[in-house]
Structure 1
Amino acid sequence: MAENRRGLGRGLSALLGDVAETEAAAAPAEGRTREARGVQEIPIDLIHRNPDQPRRTFGDVELIELTESIREKGVLQPILLRPSPKTDGEYEVVAGERRWRAAQMAGLNAMPAVVRELDDLQVLEIAIVENVQRADLNPIEEGLGFKALMDRFGRTQEAIAQAVGKSRSHIANTLRLLQLPVEVQDHVMHGRLSAGHARAIATAENAAALADRIVEQGLSVREAEALARKGAEKSKASGPRKSSGSGKTTDTMALENDLSEVLGLDVSISDRGGAGELTISYTTLEQLDDLCRRLTRAG
């Protein structure tokens, strides 16, 4: 297998394929059992969820459907585990928590799994990759996963984009959703608003009120954008307004958001009548190097 196919962006199926190649390359295809492919039957009561699993919500309907399928046909695809970092002889789910939950509901005593030695960073990246590729995460869960990779492991937006197979602008836009009021994030988390709706009102002074109105009236993303523009025009007509929390005008905050999206870093603007300061914050030297490369290329 070519080296350039071994990135995290391939997802769980490729990881399981690596196990098969490594442990069963010499076995005839027709004679390969689950054990030969590195798949074990692990007692369910020895398996525990990953506390850092980015997915926080599991749909009841799809979980019930999967439970019925497992009762009828069993678990067709093994889950990925690692030895528990806390308890010897037990395991932690890396990928496949929904199947593990459904197997418990189906009354199984054991289920097929592949066990790999993985550190915390690998576990988080694999969990995010699998969920993103299968579209299992809502945008807020996705953003929280990306933020954890940056805060805990110093990953840049560029590195995350390569790992999950998304554009850097997608990573930046998803992270911006975490700056929304909690009420708006809750709408997105539960599917009442799309990420497009949330981005449309991201810089609005009354984002929470706009979100409620969008949900109540069932407005489209385009209608939400028009609603946000109308509110911004009214705000301009009545003069610059201060944000109650930061003391900045909405125009200043919008510019901060735009620069943050482009640079992939936190940006703060302090304006005093047309003069002031622009502050770009970084948390790792890797981020600083990336910023220097961008500014050098721009020059």
Structure 2
Amino acid sequence: MDENWPRPGSGNSATSRRSGRRERMSDISFIGLGEMGSALAGRLLETGHSVRVWNRSPGAADALVASGATRAASIADALGVGTVISMLANDEAAEAVFSAESLAGVPAGTLHINCATLSVDATDRLAERHALAGVEYVAAPVLGRSNVAAAGKLNVIAAGTKSATARAQPWLDAIGKRTWVVGERPSTASLVKIGANYTLIHALQALAESLTLVEHGGVDGLTFVEILTDAAFTGSVYTGYGSLIARKAYSPPGFTVGLGLKDLSLAERAAADSGVVLSTAPVLRDMFERALADPDLAPLDWSAIAEITRGLSASD
């Protein structure tokens, strides 16, 4: 999941963003209508595109249908459009929806753009499964919260064959302000997103510890965040999450504690597969597991792991 990120500096692998208003495109299907998926599908509708929507829990499509989307009668109906974007919660959901059986009936040459954060191995399996079905596949996980998605200002990390990423680019331009094409193997994009989220998780814990430290010295947390982010840490991860932690404003969640642990687990798995040691991962896992074990914290935004650090510290 991802979060409200500042725009990074330019690089040779970056694909330039759009300019000007786009013409109305042909139909596209959107599969997976959680908070982020609904925001993305809504963005496509808002920018003039014709969108067919499908979700495993049908009620999630109601608001989008009321806004002008077409409800797909089945997953087969959703996959018959020719271009599909998906945002499903995890590996299990993505592999269940995009099974070999469901892909078998998809028209050859269909393009699937998967915007979810999935593991490297699941992305490899999905890419192979799509190739066998004659479906072009692009992994395009996004950086930004749902409000950023709704504004079309996400950063997108994409990987796939050159033909697939070229076909995907107009759709990625519709949802994001910038796309980085990082390779032709789709799982490369998943690995980059996993690394980005691992850094973000560290930022949450660092903010939790520093805020707890100064609060115990009688300093107002919001004042500290203002000092911290005025010059040294100007990015929106620090300004946005710093404010949430200082104010204990974890509801409604933009990205839940459970999803945060899922993303940490993806980093742990990728590291194990690569023989990389992530020395701080056990500490971070402990924070998430403690938060999930607390019924008051479990349903909140993932930045609520800060309350574990506050609770571990001596009371005033």
Normalised to the residue count of structure 2, the TM-score between the two structures is 0.28
Q: Which has the higher contact order (CA 8 A, sep 6+)?
A: 2
Bigger radius of gyration among the two: 1
